[in-house]
Every structure is written in C-alpha cells, then in structure tokens.
C-alpha cells in the first residue's frame, strides 16, 4: 500500500526509476486515478497526488494537544482613547519617541493603567531594545503577565522588571526572579522593616550571586533604621565589592552607627579650627591616612582626577559626618566650615563639594542654601535638599549668570519647574542668536522640551514661537529643528498630562497590588 | 453632519497610509501648528497645511469613498498631509464647520467624475460581440496550448524525479510560470511561481512539492476535460486559471441583499499587483463573501470597506462552485460601525465540515471564512490552537493569534477567520456582542 509519504518518495526518485504500481494505491485514491493501466506512470502519480492533496487539505491542522488556556481577568483599566491617540503620535515623533514614550509609560504605570493589545504587542516585539523590558514591566496587569509568560522572548520582561503584583505575592520570594523578589522585599520593608530584614538574615542570602545580593540589599533603603546596622556591618565583609559599597553607603545614612562614629573620630583627629588675629577662624584639615579600617569602610582611594587617596579620604569623612555634630567636634557649624577659609597642607582648599555631599546626605536645607548661594555649580547636587522656592530662585539666578547655560543641562534630570523653564528659555534666546552657540542652544531646547513641567507648556510654546520669529533669516538648522522638536515635545507632554488628570497617582497604600 | 461613529480610528488611518514613511511623517504633522481652515462637513474633510513653501497645501478628503486631494507635489498617495489630516480627525481634533471654498470646488468636480464613471456602459454592438467571442476563443486556444506544454513538463519532472537535478528545479518551474503568463493563464502561473519557492532546503519539500504539483495537475486535467464538466465547475476552473469577468457582467446577475459586516481584511502582493481581500459576513443570510481590490504600481487601494463597519448592500457573487467572491452592487453611501452582533458560531467540527464542503466544490480553494467558537490553546513549540467544548481543536495560524489571546484571555470566544488546511487564521473576535477587529 502506498501512502502519501511513499508517493512523495516515488515523486522525488522519479517514476522512470521507481515505477508506481497503481494497484498499490489505497481504494479512495485509486478511484481518482483514471485508466491506470497502460498510462504513463508519471501521470498516474500526478493523479494520485491530486487525490491525496485534496484529501489531506480537507482536514485542517489540529491545535496542540493541550487544554485550553486559563488566563486571569484583566486587573487594570486600559488607557483612555485620548492617551491611545497620544501614544500613536509619540510613536511617530522620531527622535522624541524614546524619551517621551518612557515618560508616558512611567506616568501610566504610576496610575495603574495598562495598554490595549495593539499598543502592547508592538512594544513586546521590541522587548530586546534597551529599556523596553523595564518600561513594559510596569504596564503589565495580571492578564498581560500571564500572556507574556507564554512567550520565551517576552518572558524576559518578567525576569528584567518586576510587576506590581509581585509586591503582594509571598510566593515570588521563593520562586520569583531577582527583580520580583526585590519588589516583594521592598513591599515588606515598607510595612514591616524587621520582617524584611529577617528575609535577608538567613544563610541563603550569601549563596545568591553578587548582582542579586546587591539588588536585595538595596531594598533596605525602604524603612532603613538603626536595627539594620548589624546586617549591614556584616555585609562590609561581603566578597563582592558592589555589595560592600552598598552596605557602606547605607551605613553612612545611619547617624548612630559605628560606621558614622568612625568617621567622626577621623574628623576629630584631622579637622581643627585655628583662631586668627583680626580675621575669621581658619579651618585646617589634614590628610586622612589609608588604613585597613578606612579600606573596610570603602573610602575612596582614587578618582578620575588622580587626587591623593588621603585627600579623597578626608572628603569622604567630611561628607559622612552628620552636619549637626560639627559644633561639638571642632566648635563651628558645618556652614561656617564649608564657606569659611580652609587650608590643607599649608595650601588653601575648597571644602564646599564635600559639605555639599553632607548636606545632601543629612538633608540639611540650611547648609544646602548656604552652599548654593556661595557656589552655583554645586546646585545640581543640592537641588533635592533645597526648599522649592529657594531652589528655583537660586537656579534662575544661576541661569542669568555666566554659568547658566552649563547649569541647565545639569539640572534637567530633575523635573524643570515652570519658573526655571522660563528662565532657561531666556538663556536659549540669548544663545540661539549667537551662531557659535547654536549647538548649546539646541541642547538646551531639547532639555526644556523633555523636562519642563507641562504646566509651563503654554508660556514656553509662546516663548518658542516668539524666538522662532526673532531668528535671523537663515538660522542654524540645529536651532530651527530644536525649536520645532521642543514645541512638539511640549505639546505632547502637555496633552498627556491633561489626559491623565482624571487618573490619580497610585500609592502602595492606595493600591495593595502596587 | 458626520456621525461621530463614522469617524475613522487611528488604526484605520495607519492602514490608509501607503507606507511606513508616510505614516510616520503624517503623525509628525498631526499637530495643530501647521494647519489652518481645518474642518469637516459630512464626509468631506479639509484643511490647509503649511509646508516649506509660502503657500499652504490644500488638502481635501472624502472619507466615505475614500478619495484624497492635496496640492503638494508628493507622488505618494495619499500623501503625508492627507494622512496627517486624517490623524487629526481620527483623534477628534477637527470640528464640524462650513466647507472651505477649495474643498467645495474639489468635491463638486469629484462628484461629476463619479457620475460619469458610474454611467451605464454603452451596449456592445453585434460587431463588438463578435470580436469579443473571437478574442475569447483565441485565448482558450492559447490556454489549451500552454496547459498541454505544462502537462508534458509535469510528467517529465515527475518521471525523472523531483530530486534529479534539483538545484535547477526552481528555475525550471519559474520558466514554466513565465510561459503560462504568455499563455494567458496567470492564475496557474502564480501557483507554479509559489512551487518554485520550494527548494531542497524547505522542510518536507518532497511532500509539499508533490502535493502542489498534484493540485496543478488537477487544474490542468479539469481544463482539458471542461467539455464534460458542469458549468459552475468550469467557471471555478476558469477563475483559478486566471480568467477574469467584467464586473458589470457580475453585477448583472441576481444579488444577495443583506447587512454585511466587514469582519476582516488582508493585503498581499501578488506579482506586480497588490491584492486586498475583504471578508464580509451577512447578518441575515449568515453567508460569507469576499470582495477583492487591486492596486498596481504602489498605488493605494480604492477600498471602501473597512473591518469593524457594516453596510446594507447587495452583493453579486461571481459564478462558480462554493461561490465566495462577490462584487458590491447597490449599497448605503456610508458604512457604519458594527452594531451589537451575536453571530451563530460553529463548533470546530462544524467549521471543518464547512471547509470540507467548500473544498469538495472547489478543490483549489485556498481558505473558507468561518465563525467559530472556542478557547485558545498555546504550546511553546507548536503554537496556538482553538479548542471547543467538545474537545475538537484546530491550529490557529497567522499573526493575529497573540491579539486574539489578549482579547479573549482564557474565556471561550467567538472568532471569525479563514479556515484552511493549515488551520484557522483569525481576523476578528466577537466579545459581548462587540466585533473586535484584530
């Protein structure tokens, strides 16, 4: 009996080599072979192939031998139509696409929204593009997470980025990915720091790989307290440098820790106040020698400027000592020490950068204000500590000064307040009219377009239109394109902000699922 | 006044753009800044778009047809300005206003052209009839000769063996395809062209090639024996060989009136022609239909049927076994969004039965539209499937399986799509009475 496989073999070999015996065909196929006797065997084979082809095609291919899928119901609302339209426009916004998408997806994730399939599936198709997995992870609801888990490539989203539901599921601590476990640990720490610490206290923690240990340890920032000190102190001896550095950084946030006490001790020994006749006191600082103890505490020994390790150690000490301890240590406030004259190895030294780190670490708004007034170049470090009104005033003043243009690019990682954005636009207006400053103007235009508060969009758009009208007849292309791109970005970001007004930001307390 | 329900979706605008470049450029232009005199009146959408020159381009679009007019010099059709205006409209950012002068003028000229085009064709004279018959007989003779040559080629190919000299086999099949084009059998030429794509590197190539050659052979035999076949089967054979019918002849046959739901759309490039297949489903008759549109040279389709809409129309089916292809006769001026719809869905076994019946009538049939209910399956290695309550399953193929899963989840759902030997290619899902085009 010749089945279809046998027929295909006969066709491949050729009927002149292997003649087909019609009698060997099964009855239904033989029925379609006309007058087999005496005919060209090739024609008989083609007749049989026609019969088999029709018979084979009559039965559609079956599905996999599996039960039907059971997927959870959608657990998040989809974005409104207005946002869908905006996301389409952002997708077509050329170079603006990536940053605006990232901002939009973060805003949607923060509001507990998810995407419709016709937006989500193209995103998943790009999941190997840098950053996409993280963006997508924040938008997945229970239904999408189940779907994503079905595809071996998409599944990497679950590995690379934790979803909001992970925070509520204890099982992920046992069998989840590192990101999922970190999300769970963070949630536990927020509600019960001791319980979270207990999760890391077991012997299993040391067996994790360095990357995972670092990721998990980082979650101690949630609810960090004095009780965490023993655990962190032990991690100063971890075999991975990244973990040791993280443990040191966290210990440096604990004002009562032995780590900070060691820094205070070094400060007491290497910083002193020298009273001077008819002049204000002089801060005299000395090199802090490199020892086994400072190495264990992860003090810096080198930097890009090749400064001596002893000097770097000194700056690290100044950055760690709590700012309110200086009066008892040397008899002067941190602000006085930071802004007054100082000497290191008989030469003047500027201690402000070190105290800026301390102001940031200990949230010392007064010290930050004093430093910001004295040195605008420190503003990028001090911005998070400054009171908003003062911050905006200092930034606007700085923008008006000579260093303003450089400063804008440094402060853009922060959302740019309307006041600052308008001041930045003034800087742009000055630079755009100078041909040799065209690229800097374009850089600032990009920054304003992407980071200015959408509330400022109407004023900024007017300003950009005005600037466009004031440009010379043949303006540099980068400026012209920069104005157009900034206008588009502002319009889209304003529209997105308006479309999301009705959707409040979720907080962990408001949404137990994250 | 335009019904907001008739407003296009952003996805429809995406589909209307001739290529990705125009789509992206259109999206970039879909901001208020360069636009003036923008408005919509009935189905007439219009606006002026300031480009690089001093004079704004005048854009007019009849969204019902659709027809486009832009004064820009672009050779893309529709151009980026038209696409941008459609995006603005789709996003609800175009208000109902009085019609602009340039748009009214274009609409008037356009209506005149339509009236001229739709005027009934002049009756053929007896001499013209005679000449047409003569041309038809000559074509039949050319097809006779071409298929006789093909028959010899097939016998030779199978006699010597498909594996013999196999590196030259695709070229030889391609040459036969070219000869069949010369012999005015383009439909058969296309089948051979497809078979030429099967190389020794193609998995399971002997079986696939044997099956394909068997179908070609069957078509050759059917043509050669056409004198003994019933008329409807001969019509089917002629259609598969590539004989075309004048649409006015099809429209002269009795039609089927119904509310036709547009359930799917698929574009493909065949030779130098782009083909758009639009699948419809009759609400009352429960009958499927296929309307085809053609576009050559990169031009846009003049399709006015879009998935997710429905229209009252009379369809005239092309003659043949398992009639499916149809021409649209009298119809509503505007299609509308599909009203709630609960089509009677088949089980997998019933759908397979429908496919078998259709295949029995037309053994060369590519696929058959079905509306079938079931739950989706997914296997990492073998892909998707649809299983019904009775446990019967069918493979789900094509690029719409993931969207189908996203829409249906794990629940039983009604899907419309095309069933073939490869499985079900889903095109839309019906969820709670709403047609969701995938």
Mark yes or no for CB contact A488/B23 under 8 Å.
Answer: no
DSSP code, position A266: H
B chain contacts of residue A9, beta-carbon cutoff 8 Å: 206
Residues of B in contact with A499 (CB under 8 A): none
Residue in chain B nearest A74 by alpha carbon: B409
Probe site for chain B from A14, A68, A152 (most B CB atoms < 10 A): A68
* Smallest Cα distance from A200 to chain B, Å: 35
Shortest Cα–Cα distance, B201 to chain A (Å): 14
What's the average model confidence in pLDDT over B310-333? 90
A12 contacts in chain B (CB < 8 Å): 161-163, 206, 210
What is the model's pLDDT at position A498?
92
User: What is the distance between the alpha carbons of residues B282 and B261, in angstroms, rounded to a whole number?
Assistant: 6
Per-residue pLDDT tens over the stretch A452-465: 999 999 999 999 99
Say whether pLDDT at A241 is over 90: yes
- Segment among A254-258, A395-399, B299-303, B304-308 with least mean pLDDT: B299-303
Residue of A nearest to B206 (CA): A8
* DSSP β-bridge partners for residue B46: B39, B60
Predicted pLDDT of residue B227: 93
What is the pLDDT, as a whole number, of residue B97? 82
The yes/no answer to whether this complex scores an ipTM above 0.85 is no
Q: Are A180 and A158 in contact (CB under 8 A)?
A: yes
What confidence score (pLDDT) does residue A514 get? 35
What is the residue-averaged pLDDT of chain B?
88
User: Residue A4: enclosing H or E segment and its boundaries?
Assistant: helix A4-13
HSE-CB for B290 with a 13 A CA cutoff: 20
Distance from C-alpha of B268 to C-alpha of B287, rounded to nearest angstrom: 24
CB contact under 8 A, B385 and A12: no
Structure tokens given for A349: 């030294």
- Tell me the count of A-B CB pairs closer than 8 A: 218
pLDDT at residue A511, rounded to an integer? 46
Chain-chain contact of A92 with B91 (C-beta, under 8 angstroms): no
Residues of chain B with C-beta less than 8 angstroms from the C-beta of A151: 402
Q: What tens digit of pLDDT does each residue of A374-388 get? A: 888 888 888 888 888
Per the CB < 8 Å rule, is A64 touching B90? no
pTM over 0.95: no
Contact B87 A68 (CB under 8 A): no
- Quick one: pLDDT at residue B269? 79
Q: Which secondary structure element, helix H or strand E, spans residue B332, and what is its range? A: none
- Tell me how far apart the alpha carbons of residues A490 and A487 are, in angstroms, rounded to a whole number: 5
Confidence class for position A17, pLDDT limits 50, 70, 90: confident
B390/chain A closest Cα distance in angstroms:
12
In CATH, which of 3.30.310, 2.60.40, 2.60.120, 2.40.50 is domain B348-437?
Answer: 2.40.50
Residues 6+ apart with CB under 8 A from A219: A182, A185, A186, A189, A196
More confident of the two residues B8 and A265: A265
Tokens encoding B127: 């001499």
**Which of B14, B159, B403 to probe the A interface (max A CBs under 10 A)?**
B159
Strands A342-344 vs A279-285: parallel, antiparallel or unpaired = parallel
Say if the Cβ atoms of A69 and B395 lie within 8 Å: no
Region B233-240: what's the mean pLDDT?
A: 94
Mind listing the pLDDT tens digit for each residue in B399-412? 888 888 888 887 88
CB contact under 8 A, B214 and A40: no
Q: Which tokens sit at B372?
A: 């079938």
| A422 pLDDT more than 90 | no
CB B280 within 8 A of CB B261: yes
Q: Determine the pLDDT at residue A404.
A: 58
Q: What is the pLDDT of residue B90?
A: 84
Give me the pLDDT at residue B47, please.
93
Residue B2 pLDDT > 50, yes or no? no
- Predicted confidence at residue A509, as pLDDT, reads 47
Q: Tabulate helix, strand, coil % of chain B (nearest 5).
A: 40, 25, 35
A11:B419 CB<8 A: no
- Chain A residues with CB-CB distance to B164 below 8 A: 14
Residue B299 pLDDT > 70: no
Q: Look at B109 and A325; give whichever has higher pLDDT.
A: A325
3-state secondary structure (DSSP) of residue B417: strand
C-alpha distances (whole Å) from A512 to each of A170, A175, A184, A232 are: 13, 21, 12, 29
What residue in A sits closest to B14 (Cα-Cα)?
A88
- In this prediction, residues A321-338 reach a mean pLDDT of 94
Window from A102-111, A428-437, B171-180, B338-347 with minimum mean pLDDT: A428-437
Give the contacts of B283 (CB within 8 A, at least 6 positions apart): B258, B259, B260, B261, B310, B341, B343
Sheet (strand B35-41) strand order = B35-41, B44-49, B57-62, B67-70
pLDDT for residue A167 is more than 60: no
In chain B, domain spans: 4-118, 131-241, 247-337, 348-437
**In chain A, which residues have their Cβ closer than 8 Å to the Cβ of B382?**
64
B389-B393-B399 Cα angle (round to 5): 120
Q: Tell me the mean pLDDT in the region A433-459.
A: 87
Of residues B333 and B156, the one with the higher pLDDT is: B156
Cβ atoms of residues A148 and A124 within 8 Å? yes
Q: Which residues have C-beta within 8 Å of that of residue B96, sequence separation ≥ 6?
A: B1, B2, B39, B40, B41
Residue A434 CB partners (closer than 8 Å, separation 6+) = A441
Residues A106/A135, Cβ–Cβ less than 8 Å: yes
Q: From CA A491, how far away is CA A361, in angstroms rounded?
A: 37
Smallest Cβ distance to B163: which of A13, A91, A151? A13
| Average pLDDT estimate for B136-154 | 93
B123 contact partners, CB below 8 Å, separation of at least 6: none
Per-residue model confidence (pLDDT) at position B30:
84
Distance CA A374, CA A394 (A): 10
Q: How confident is the model at residue A133 (pLDDT cuts 50, 70, 90)?
A: confident
Residue A423 clears pLDDT 50, i.e. is over it: yes
Q: A285 with A270: CB under 8 angstroms?
A: yes
Residue predicted with more confidence, B23 or B317? B317
Distance from CA of A426 to the nearest CA of B (A): 22
Q: Do A64 and B378 touch (CB under 8 A)?
A: yes
For residue A71, give the chain B residue with the closest CA.
B410
Residues A121 and A56 sit within 8 Å (Cβ to Cβ) = no
Residues of B in contact with A152 (CB under 8 A): 380
* Pairwise CB contact (< 8 Å): B155 & A40: yes
- Cβ-defined contact of B421 to A56 (cutoff 8 Å): yes
Of A65 and A231, which is predicted with more confidence? A231
Question: Which pLDDT does position B337 carry in this prediction?
Answer: 84
Is B378 close to A43, i.e. CB distance below 8 A?
Answer: no
For residue B13 the two structure tokens come to 């605008």
Among the partner residues A48, A143, A152, nearest to B409 by beta-carbon distance: A143
Per-residue pLDDT, B1: 41
* Residue A87, preceding peptide bond in cis (omega within 30° of 0): no
**pLDDT beyond 90 at B297:** no
Q: Across all residues in chain A, what is the average pLDDT?
A: 87
Residue pair A358/A365 in contact (Cβ under 8 Å)? The answer is no
Q: Where are the beta strands (DSSP E) in A195-320?
A: 271-276, 279-285
Token pair in block for residue B157 = 């190919």
Q: How far is B303 from chain A (nearest CA, A)?
A: 23
CB within 8 Å: A64 and B31 = no
In this complex, the residue of B213, B395, B421 whose CB is nearest that of residue A46 is: B213
Closest residue to B423, CB basis, from A60, A117, A118: A60
Q: Å from B357 to nearest chain A CA?
A: 9
User: Does position A415 have pLDDT exceeding 80, yes or no?
Assistant: no
Confidence of residue A161 (pLDDT cuts 50, 70, 90): low
pLDDT at A152: 78
DSSP letter assigned to residue A61: P
| Cβ–Cβ gap A63/B384 under 8 Å | yes
**Is there a contact between B428 and B414 (Cβ–Cβ < 8 Å)?**
no
Query: How far apart are the CA of B196 and the nearest CA of chain A, in angstroms?
Result: 15
Q: How far is B346 from B415, CA to CA, in rounded Å?
A: 10
């Amino acid at each position: 009996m010749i089945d279809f496989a046998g027929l295909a073999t006969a066709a491949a070999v050729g009927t002149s080599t292997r003649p087909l015996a019609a009698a060997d065909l099964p009855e239904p196929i033989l029925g379609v072979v006309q007058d087999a006797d005496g005919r060209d065997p090739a024609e008989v084979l083609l007749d049989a192939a026609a019969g088999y082809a029709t018979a084979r095609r009559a039965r559609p291919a079956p599905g996999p031998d599996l039960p039907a899928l059971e997927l959870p119901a959608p657990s998040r609302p989809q974005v409104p139509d207005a946002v869908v339209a905006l996301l389409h426009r952002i997708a077509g916004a050329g170079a603006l696409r990536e940053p605006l998408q990232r901002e939009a997806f973060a805003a949607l994730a923060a509001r507990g929204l998810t995407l419709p399939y016709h937006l989500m599936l193209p995103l998943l198709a790009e999941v190997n593009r840098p950053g996409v997995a993280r963006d997508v992870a924040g938008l997945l609801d229970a239904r999408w997470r189940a779907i994503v888990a079905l595809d071996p490539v998409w599944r990497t989203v679950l590995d690379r980025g934790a979803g909001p539901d992970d925070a509520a599921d204890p099982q992920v601590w046992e069998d989840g990915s590192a990101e999922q476990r970190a999300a769970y640990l963070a949630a536990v720490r927020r509600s019960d720091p001791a319980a979270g610490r207990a999760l890391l206290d077991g012997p299993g923690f040391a067996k994790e790989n360095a990357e995972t240990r670092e990721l998990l340890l980082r979650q101690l920032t949630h609810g960090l307290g004095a009780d965490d000190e023993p655990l962190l102190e032990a991690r100063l001896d971890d075999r991975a440098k990244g973990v040791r550095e993280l443990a040191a950084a966290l210990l440096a946030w604990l004002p009562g820790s032995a780590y900070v006490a060691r820094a205070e001790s070094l400060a007491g020994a290497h910083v002193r106040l020298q009273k001077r006749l008819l002049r204000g006191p002089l801060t005299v600082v000395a090199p802090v020698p490199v020892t086994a103890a400072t190495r264990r505490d992860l003090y810096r020994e080198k930097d890009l400027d090749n400064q001596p390790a002893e000097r770097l150690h000194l700056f690290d000490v100044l950055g760690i000592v709590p700012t309110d301890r200086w009066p008892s240590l040397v008899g002067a406030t941190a602000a006085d020490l930071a802004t007054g004259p100082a000497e290191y190895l008989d030469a003047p030294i500027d201690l402000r950068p070190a105290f800026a780190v301390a102001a940031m670490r200990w949230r010392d708004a007064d010290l930050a204000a004093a430093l910001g007034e004295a040195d605008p170049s420190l503003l990028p470090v001090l911005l998070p500590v400054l009171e908003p009104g003062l911050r905006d005033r200092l930034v606007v003043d700085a923008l008006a000064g000579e260093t303003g243009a450089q400063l804008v690019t440094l402060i853009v990682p922060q959302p740019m307040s309307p006041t600052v954005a308008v001041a930045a636009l003034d800087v742009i207006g000055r630079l755009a009219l100078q041909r040799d400053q065209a690229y800097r103007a374009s850089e600032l235009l990009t920054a304003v377009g992407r980071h200015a508060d959408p509330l400022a969009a109407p004023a900024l758009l007017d300003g950009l239109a005005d600037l466009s009208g004031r440009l010379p007849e043949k303006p540099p292309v980068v400026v012209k394109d920069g104005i157009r791109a900034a206008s588009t970005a502002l319009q889209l970001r304003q529209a997105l902000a308006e479309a999301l007004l009705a959707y409040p930001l979720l907080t962990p307390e408001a949404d137990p699922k994250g | 006044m335009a019904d907001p329900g008739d407003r296009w979706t952003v996805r429809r605008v995406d589909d209307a753009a001739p290529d990705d470049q125009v789509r992206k450029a259109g999206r970039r232009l879909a901001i208020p800044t360069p636009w003036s005199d923008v408005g919509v009146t009935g189905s007439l959408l219009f606006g002026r778009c300031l480009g690089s020159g001093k004079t704004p381009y005048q854009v007019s679009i009849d969204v019902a047809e659709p027809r486009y007019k832009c004064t820009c010099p672009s050779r893309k059709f529709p151009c980026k300005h038209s696409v941008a205006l459609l995006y603005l409209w789709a996003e609800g950012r175009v208000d109902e206003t009085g019609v602009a002068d340039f748009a009214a003028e274009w609409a008037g000229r356009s209506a005149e052209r339509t009236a001229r085009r739709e005027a009934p064709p002049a009756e053929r004279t007896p001499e013209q009839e005679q000449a047409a018959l003569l041309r038809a007989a000559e074509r039949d003779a050319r097809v006779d000769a071409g298929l006789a040559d093909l028959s010899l080629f097939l016998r030779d190919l199978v006699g010597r063996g498909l594996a013999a000299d196999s590196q030259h086999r695709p070229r030889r099949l391609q040459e036969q395809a070219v000869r069949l084009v010369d012999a005015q059998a383009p439909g058969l030429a296309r089948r051979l062209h497809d078979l030429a794509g099967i190389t020794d590197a193609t998995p399971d190539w002997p079986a696939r090639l044997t099956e394909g050659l068997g179908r070609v052979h069957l078509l050759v035999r059917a043509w050669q024996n056409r004198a003994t076949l019933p008329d409807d089967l001969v019509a089917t054979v002629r259609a598969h060989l590539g004989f075309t019918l004048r649409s006015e002849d099809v429209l002269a046959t009795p039609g089927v009136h119904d509310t036709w739901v547009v359930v799917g759309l698929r574009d493909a490039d065949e030779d130098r022609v782009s083909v758009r297949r639009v699948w419809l489903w009759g609400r009352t008759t429960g009958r499927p239909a296929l309307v085809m549109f053609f576009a050559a040279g990169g031009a846009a389709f003049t399709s006015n049927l879009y998935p997710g809409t429905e229209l009252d129309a009379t369809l005239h089916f092309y003659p043949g076994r398992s009639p499916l292809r149809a021409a649209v006769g009298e119809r509503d001026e505007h299609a509308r969004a599909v009203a709630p719809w609960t089509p009677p869905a088949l089980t997998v076994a019933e759908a397979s039965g429908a496919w078998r019946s259709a295949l029995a009538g037309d053994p060369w049939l590519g696929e058959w539209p079905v509306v079938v209910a079931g739950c989706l399956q997914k296997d990492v290695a073998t892909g998707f499937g649809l299983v019904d309550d009775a446990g019967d399953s069918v493979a789900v193929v094509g690029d719409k399986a993931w969207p189908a899963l996203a829409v249906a989840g794990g629940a039983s759902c009604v899907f419309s799509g095309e069933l073939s030997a490869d499985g079900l290619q889903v095109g839309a899902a019906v969820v709670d009475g709403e047609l969701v085009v995938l």
